[in-house]
Copies of this chain bind each other. A is one copy, B any other.
Amino acid sequence: MNDKPGAKSEVITAAILVIGDEILSGRTKDKNIGHIAEYLTNIGIDMREVRVVPDIEAEIIAALDALRHRYTYVFTTGGIGPTHDDITADCVAKAFGVTIDVDPRARVLLLTRIAEKDMNEARLRMARIPAGADLILNKVSAAPGFRIGNVHVMAGVPSIMQAMLDEVAPTLRTGVKMLSETVRANCREGDIGTPLGEIAKAHPDAMIGSYPFQDEGRPNTNIVIRSRDAGKLAAAKSAVEDMLARVHGSLRQTA
């Protein structure tokens, strides 16, 4: 129960900044937004905004500044590899007004996987870390991400990003978890729109969403009720269930 006295009441927010021409061209289909969103929701962090921007310094910095000043945390994905189009670390350093250079800790990490003879200028790019940042290790690749201020810079490759998020999660402040209940309406959205709107108005501390879906070829609706307060969630759910019973009764009469 999250509504017991003394429960933490701070709301922790986050945004995702996806960096990469390949997402905007559609060549690569993003798999990170959904993963991060679900992950953070589950640990009590509210994802509030996502932006996708190209590999252009001014765009990355502008988006990063817009997001980092507004939300508790920002998570970036993409642009931290060894090639010329990997400019995320340099952009983050510029946004924070700090220097960036090859970080000895990151270089040591890389050398655990890369033979000294294979180390070159390109691979050393992956050890370029803004001054003052903490490294984000991961179990999949030797190349680290990093955290500076409230910004977490992660890889774009989903398996590596996921491993980095696992490392980061225990370091994050989390708020009261958003609780959620899903009620299958067994009718079409249009059958319940008006009474559902009235319930939403009468229960301002619960967020009520309505999501149509095809249920074995027939239109159906999931009603998702969310609240940080278990009592208020239960009250709103009960109001939805009562309403559905009334609507089903009336649909049977007119059938």
Contact = CB atoms under 8 A, between A and B. Distances in A.
A23 interface: yes
B122 A193 contact: yes
Interface in A194-212: 194, 196-197, 200-201, 207-212
Contact of A26 (B41, B114, B120): B41
B117 A208 contact: no
Main secondary structure of the interface of A (DSSP, over half): mixed
Nearest to A121: B194
B120 A194 contact: yes
Contacts of A25: 37-38, 41, 47, 178, 180, 226
Contact of A194 (B18, B30, B48, B122): B122
Contacts of A48: 24, 54
A55 B209 contact: yes
A171 to B, nearest CB: 20
A32 to B, nearest CB: 11
A215 interface: no
Given A85-B209, A210-B81, A210-B83, A190 B47 contact: no
A96 interface: no
Interface in A218-255: 224, 226, 254
9 contacts: A26-B37, A26-B39, A81-B189, A121-B193, A122-B193, A123-B193, A125-B193, A126-B190, A157-B212
Task: Please name the 10 residue pairs, one residue from A and one from B, whose CB atoms are nearest each other, closest first.
Answer: A122-B193, A26-B38, A84-B197, A26-B37, A50-B52, A29-B34, A83-B210, A123-B190, A82-B193, A82-B190
